[in-house]
Amino acid sequence: MTVLRTTPFDDQRPGTSGLRKKTAVFRQPRYLENFVQSVFDAVGDVRGQTLVLGGDGRYHNREAIQTILRMAAANGVGRVLVGCGGILSTPAASCVIRKHGAYGGLILSASHNPGGPDGDFGIKYNIGNGGPAPEKVTEAIHARTMEIREYRMLEAPDVDLDRPGTSVLGSMAVEIIDPVEDYAQLMRSLFDFDAIAGLLRSGHFSLRFDAMHAVTGPYAKALLEDALGAPAGTVIRGEPLPDFGGGHPDPNLTYAPELVAMMSGADAPGFGAASDGDGDRNMILGRDFFVTPSDSLAVLAANARLVPGYRDGLAGVARSMPTSMAVDRVAAELGIPCYETPTGWKFFGNLMDAGKVDLCGEESFGTGSNHVREKDGLWAVLFWLNILAVRRQSVAEIVVEHWARFGRNIYSRHDYEGVDAGAAQQVMTQVREAGERLPGTALAGRTVSVCDDFSYRDPVDGSLSSGQGLRILFSDGARIVFRLSGTGTEGATIRIYLEAYEPDASRHGMDAQEALAELIAAAEEISRLKAITGRTRPTVIT
């Protein structure tokens, strides 16, 4: 074992979900090493413990795994479970940590950000409950990166990541495990596979799943094609590639155009879905129909009792603050609590561990439950398929009926990506200052009731997280929220979240951009975003 001298990098603060940088930044000498040693130094005594390690297969994944294994051995870790080929989706890693009682895990991914030598790379630490490290842990890791002086490394040859079985590295065991098996077994325990297989055999139903050349390909093939009997070819772009085939592995209407095209027209499949780089996001489509992630969460909550794993009902639900309030209406009718947390899955962990919630979601295509402590793309797909198998209605019919019952929370998010960081700050300052004068005034044909900067007190451990997004709340339930992204690697991304509640079923068919036009204009009026940033339109509209 060698102890190597190093000096700190001043840009290693984890964001919404781990540390994400350009691949070239991660490939600098000592960059990954500094961060990994800081994790080992900050998360407690890892000596003799079991860790889980894997990634989404993006460029630099294998090299990073070899480095981390040598460092883990040098730091006295007892055993590391590594997904074969270096592959573990984020939800599968969470599942493996929980099932094998691991101390924690390291997941290599920049999620939905593009990969490759000119793309992004990332790393995040998950704790023993299988979930992303909470803020107090990520802050401790960051503090350590600012003072690090040395790291430990074992001189050893590469481990063969493609041969299942156990080997040793120094005195540490390295177990190469099947990345799909534990996860697939968990899915079988939650969903009615016979009912879904029956739907697929009925002759009236087919589906497409777009794995976007990211990590979910092997998982989707094993579950949808092999276990449930969907025909070969159901999973498209199913082979994980280091650069995701040059695509942007973000499952939305902009970055999954092939799937969107396949889902349009009278002959289109009844169900379409896609997942992101590391497999924790999902996009749900019906024939000529897009289900917003916020609506999807509400539909899953309202139909949970149809699914074996949730047959006894839900204890509670949670959503991130910018997510639409559709699920709040379901919770109210079910008589269960609904928690509102800051953006990022790490805020759901405590609520799930305490048994307060079992279903949660974010507007950013993230849905999940207490089966793991991450959002889970394929889980959401199977949940929808289970509902479709029981209700035997189309996706559109289910959502339209849902709106008729609960009203529709018309919703959209406008992203301005790669904005100059100073200009983005200026936009936020402008909104904050304008917000001081707005309450009580008329705007977008409504009355503003509250303007604030969202902060959250965790009901379990009492920790406070402030500065989580500027909210403009209207007395009729409409909202405009401004937030800066914490996952980007270039400049800043401004996100504007827009929501209006529409109880009148005769207006539920409206296009969201039209229905929200007044709020969109008001957002511009308040923020002066176009003048400040020079942008004329959003990069992505969801």
- Which of 33, 56, 225, 276 is close enough to bind ligand VG1 by CB under 6 A? 276
Nearest to 154 by CA among 71, 53, 82: 71
Amino acid at 474: F
Nearer to ligand VG1, 37 or 468 (CB): 468
Taking the complex as a whole, the smallest distance from the CB of residue 229 to Co ion amounts, in Å, to: 28
Helices 31-42 and 135-145: crossing angle in degrees, nearest 10, is 130
Whether the CB-CB separation of 18 and 134 falls below 8 Å is answered with no
- Which of 486, 510, 518, 528 is close enough to bind ligand VG1 by CB under 6 A? 486
User: By CB under 6 A, is residue 252 in contact with ligand VG1?
Assistant: no
Nearer to Co ion, 270 or 277 (CB): 277
- List, in sequence order, the alpha helices (H) in 270-420: 293-302, 326-334, 349-353, 377-391, 395-406
Taking the complex as a whole, the smallest distance from the CB of residue 446 to ligand VG1 amounts, in Å, to: 26
Q: Map residues 279-318 to x or -, x wherever contact with ligand VG1 holds by CB under 6 A.
A: -xx-------------------------------------
Taking the complex as a whole, the smallest distance from the CB of residue 278 to Co ion amounts, in Å, to: 4
Strands 408-419 and 492-502: antiparallel
- Which of 275, 485, 489, 527 is close enough to bind ligand VG1 by CB under 6 A? 485
Q: Map residues 6-45 to x or -, x wherever contact with ligand VG1 holds by CB under 6 A.
A: ----------xx----------------------------
User: By CB under 6 A, is residue 412 in contact with ligand VG1?
Assistant: no
Nearer to ligand VG1, 409 or 485 (CB): 485
16's contact among ligand VG1, Co ion, none, with CB below 5 to 8 A by partner kind, is ligand VG1
Separation CA 199–CA 384 (nearest Å): 12
Question: How do the residues of the chain divide into helix, strand and coil, expressed in percent and rounded to 5?
Answer: 35, 25, 40
Number of residues that bind ligand VG1 (CB under 6 A): 18
User: By CB under 6 A, is residue 98 in contact with ligand VG1?
Assistant: no
Using the rule CB under 6 A, give the single segment among 167-175, 358-366, 379-387, 507-515 that binds ligand VG1.
Answer: 358-366
Nearer to ligand VG1, 83 or 344 (CB): 344
Nearer to ligand VG1, 46 or 92 (CB): 92
User: By CB under 5 A, is residue 363 in contact with Co ion?
Assistant: no
Whether the CB-CB separation of 469 and 322 falls below 8 Å is answered with yes
Annotated active-site residue in 111, 294, 320, 485: 111
Taking the complex as a whole, the smallest distance from the CB of residue 289 to ligand VG1 amounts, in Å, to: 23
Handedness of CA 430, 431, 435, 436 (dihedral sign): negative
Please identify the residue of the shown chain whose CB is closest to the bound ligand VG1: 111
- Which of 225, 362, 458, 499 is close enough to bind ligand VG1 by CB under 6 A? 362
| 322 phi/psi in degrees, rounded to 5 | -70, -10
Nearer to Co ion, 277 or 316 (CB): 277
Q: Which two tokens stand for residue 461?
A: 């451990």
Taking the complex as a whole, the smallest distance from the CB of residue 486 to ligand VG1 amounts, in Å, to: 3
User: By CB under 5 A, is residue 56 in contact with Co ion?
Assistant: no
* DSSP 8-state assignment for residue 158: P
User: By CB under 5 A, is residue 278 in contact with Co ion?
Assistant: yes
- List, in sequence order, the alpha helices (H) in 84-173: 90-99, 135-145
DSSP calls for 231-296 = PTTSEES-S--TTGGGS----STTT-HHHHHHT-STTS-SEEEE--TTS-B-EEEETTEEE-HHHH
Whether the CB-CB separation of 375 and 276 falls below 8 Å is answered with no
- Which of 251, 272, 366, 538 is close enough to bind ligand VG1 by CB under 6 A? 366
Q: With residue 208 as reference, give the H or E element that holds it.
A: strand 207-210
Q: Which two tokens stand for residue 202?
A: 């009925």
User: By CB under 5 A, is residue 295 in contact with Co ion?
Assistant: no
- Which of 75, 343, 489, 542 is close enough to bind ligand VG1 by CB under 6 A? 343
Annotation says 463 is catalytic: no
Nearer to ligand VG1, 49 or 493 (CB): 493
* DSSP 8-state assignment for residue 370: T
Instruction: Please name the residues in contact with 257: beta carbons below 8 A apart, sequence gap of 6 or more.
Output: none
Separation CA 422–CA 326 (nearest Å): 34
Nearest to 174 by CA among 90, 64, 52: 52
Handedness of CA 399, 404, 405, 411 (dihedral sign): positive
Per CB under 5 A, which of residues 88..127 are in contact with Co ion? 111
Per CB under 6 A, which of residues 101..130 are in contact with ligand VG1? 111-112
Catalytic residue ranges: 111
Note the residues at the interface with ligand VG1 (CB under 6 A).
Answer: 16-17, 111-112, 276, 280-281, 320, 343-345, 362, 364, 366, 485-487, 495
